[in-house]
Structure 1
Amino acid sequence: MYISITSILLSLGGKCLLNWVLVFLQKKHICRSFLTTFSASLAVFDAALTLTFTILHTRSDGYVVLFGQLLTSYHICLLVQIVGQIHRVLQWPVVVMAAVDHFCTVTQRLHANTLRAMWVVYLFVSVLLWCLAALYIFLLSDFTPVLEDVSHHHMDRCWVFPSSQTLHITLLLLLTLSCTALHAGRLITLSLWIRLISPNSPLTIQTVDQNQTHSRRSFVLQALHKFVLTWSPFLVLLAVLLLLPVGIPSYLDLSVAWLCFFNSLLVALVLCAVCPASQISQGLAAVPPDSFCEWKF
């Protein structure tokens, strides 16, 4: 898709503003999880990128020297495409690392000293992912930039690769959570129906004895309710974007807003998978930090 350079700058500026607003809203949880640390690094990266593009586009002499390299407005299109590819490459590694981090947070209680030291690990992993993604794009991938053969003085638009990878990942996780909730709801309904129809049957006695399993199923439904209630406007937006024939520009594919939404979704999945409500209420399990959903049961 072709997008004007002015539109690219405006959209990047809006993305940067939203990034920093959301980072500020999560200030109490910054560096307490991998996703919050990566969100801060993404906000810094996008701010530096937007500032560089703005300087390149508004310089009266048409060029700027950065780290010994001569950059002109012509390089905006090249950099936008490279950044879009880096965002695309980072999607699944961020998903995997966030899932592992949340799983470790829920399944084991860490000492205060360990928690204070974990931010160093989160920061190191975040920087490592950025570096590995850039190296992959430049050295291993078959990425070929699409550039118009015109003078940089007449360049006013750029070819940008569309991307829907974020929507596909979100859709996959939502389907997983929905199937889990439907399965839990079906089993709860079946248990209640058996109790009403045959209260003295062995199957009823067995169902009554499975209070812990029933509690876990109710917990799944509560987690889904909390998640949907909090993120319903964003879910509607994702549904609209998924139905649109034009994908999201690749340089907007990775944002702090999506990471916040994904964090809540991943917390719900991890809690439903490995943590019964009784452990949370008794303080036997830690809930991953989330600035938007309040995971109290």
Structure 2
Amino acid sequence: MDDNDQAETFERFEPSCILILIITGKIIMNIFISGAKRRSVSPSFMGYFCLSLAFTDFALLISVFSIHYFQDFAIWGVRFTTYHICLLTQIISHTYGILHYPVFVASGLDYYLTIVKSVHLSRFCSGFLYCAVVLLLWTLAFLYTLNIPAGLAEWNAGVISHQCTFYISRQSFYLSAAIVVTVFMVLVICCFEVVALIRTMKLTTYCDKTVILFSYGNEWPIRSTRCLLTSFLFSFLGTWAPFLLIQIIIIFSCAHIPGYMDMNVAWLYFMNSFLVGVSYSLEYPNIPIIERKLNVDPFIDWKYCVYPFYTEDSQITALKEMPLEVVI
């Protein structure tokens, strides 16, 4: 094989190798995020969808790697070549790209019913319902992608790599912008409370772990919507500040991220924490201390933010045993 043939072969297979490396990195990130979350949380739609996304990413990696390795083969009469690597990734990118809004709405509706409206279903019924909704969303998204007009697909394309054109989702861009704007609006509205809370900040240890304590004084319970929002803001930023910074950089740089990377487990749990905080804010000041309602976020323990603001007289005596601080 001469140099020209080697160069052509390298150019032909380079996109496949890049895709395999990128998708492998995404799966490693999914595993890391899944390992970092708390294990004992109540089931939610977002949790089930994240599992389905991780499975889809793994299936995509196996498919791309198989096509890249065998190059030209047939299964049940269907022939697969290296061309199908681009085709398959394009389909996945479109499917991921149109799911941001539906997942956001479905998860928000789930928390509105379970947290704000206190709708309670058995674990079996809720699990069956979540699985059905997740399956329905994936099915509708795939059907829509496979039937999308070719002209519209080309109009929405944004990234071209070695003849592979990948879909760029505007849904994730607008959702990121909305979350960033909301966080900064809360920061501006509660600026005085933020300064006061920072002044009371102190480090301590609890169960051999370093924690940050913020004191609200001697009042119990605390009756202030702004203080509650400030508490939520500190908890949210204490967990997701690096990811929020990444979103800000992406927004201002107008970075083009392919759909198969834009939808990931880290982004979904970031959005999940935002929705949980919004749900608790909507229910204030009537937030009942029920473990299944306060234990829905696998990354933020919101109950330490809620306890100082709890106003149920029958439970005040028991809650006074807890410190007048918010633990981040």
Under a length normalisation based on structure 2, what TM-score does the superposition of the two structures give? Answer: 0.70
**Superposition deviation, residue 262 in structure 1:** 0.8
**Superposition deviation, residue 254 in structure 1:** 0.6
In structure 2, the partner of 1:220 is 229
Supply the AA of the counterpart residue of 2:88.
Answer: L
| Equivalent position to 2:69, from 58, 64, 80 | 58
Contact 2:48–2:131 (CA under 8 A) maintained in structure 1: yes
5+ residue gaps in structure 2? 1-13, 156-160, 196-219, 306-328
| Equivalent position to 2:34, from 23, 26, 32 | 23
Supply the AA of the counterpart residue of 1:57.
Answer: H
Report 1 or 2 for greater relative contact order, CA contacts < 8 Å, sequence distance ≥ 6. Answer: 1
Task: Confirm or deny that 1:165 pairs with 2:174.
Answer: no
Distance 1:246 1:176, change over 3 A: closer
For residues 40 and 178 of structure 1, what CA distance do their matches in structure 2 show?
Answer: 31
**Superposition deviation, residue 183 in structure 1:** 3.3
CA offset digits 1:77-99 (Å, max 9, x no partner): 11111111111111100010000
In structure 1, the partner of 2:122 is 114
For residues 38 and 136 of structure 2, what CA distance do their matches in structure 1 show?
Answer: 23
In structure 1, the partner of 2:181 is 175
**Superposition deviation, residue 279 in structure 1:** 2.4
In structure 1, the partner of 2:135 is 127
**Superposition deviation, residue 250 in structure 1:** 1.8
For residues 30 and 222 of structure 1, what CA distance do their matches in structure 2 show?
Answer: 21
For residues 106 and 56 of structure 2, what CA distance do their matches in structure 1 show?
Answer: 19
For residues 6 and 88 of structure 1, what CA distance do their matches in structure 2 show?
Answer: 23
Supply the AA of the counterpart residue of 2:240.
Answer: W
In structure 2, the partner of 1:75 is 84
Task: Confirm or deny that 1:86 pairs with 2:92.
Answer: no
Distance 1:67 1:145, change over 3 A: farther
The structure carrying a bigger helix percent of its residues is 1
Distance 1:118 1:185, change over 3 A: same
**Superposition deviation, residue 18 in structure 1:** 1.6
Distance 1:160 1:50, change over 3 A: same
Equivalences for residues 261-280 of structure 1 within 5 A = 261-276=270-285, 279-280=287-288
* Local SS of the residue matching 2:147: helix
In structure 1, the partner of 2:248 is 239
In structure 2, the partner of 1:193 is none
* Local SS of the residue matching 2:56: helix
**Superposition deviation, residue 235 in structure 1:** 1.4
In structure 1, the partner of 2:297 is 290
For residues 124 and 30 of structure 1, what CA distance do their matches in structure 2 show?
Answer: 20
Supply the AA of the counterpart residue of 1:179.
Answer: M
Distance 1:110 1:279, change over 3 A: same
Distance 1:157 1:8, change over 3 A: farther
5+ residue gaps in structure 1? 147-154, 190-210
The list of structure 1 runs, each at least 4 consecutive aligned residues, that deviate by more than 6 angstroms after superposition, is 186-189
Distance 1:55 1:268, change over 3 A: same
**Superposition deviation, residue 294 in structure 1:** 1.5
Supply the AA of the counterpart residue of 1:166.
Answer: S
In structure 1, the partner of 2:326 is none
Under a length normalisation based on structure 1, what TM-score does the superposition of the two structures give? Answer: 0.77
* Count of residue pairs brought into register by the alignment: 261
Which range moved further: 26-35 or 42-51?
26-35
Distance 1:164 1:6, change over 3 A: farther
Distance 1:31 1:286, change over 3 A: closer
Distance 1:232 1:284, change over 3 A: closer
Distance 1:186 1:11, change over 3 A: same
**Superposition deviation, residue 117 in structure 1:** 2.2
Note the aligned Cα RMSD (angstroms).
3.0
Distance 1:213 1:179, change over 3 A: farther
Supply the AA of the counterpart residue of 2:298.
Answer: S
For residues 271 and 265 of structure 1, what CA distance do their matches in structure 2 show?
Answer: 10
For residues 19 and 188 of structure 1, what CA distance do their matches in structure 2 show?
Answer: 33
Supply the AA of the counterpart residue of 2:227.
Answer: S
- Percent same amino acid at aligned positions? 27
* Local SS of the residue matching 1:55: helix
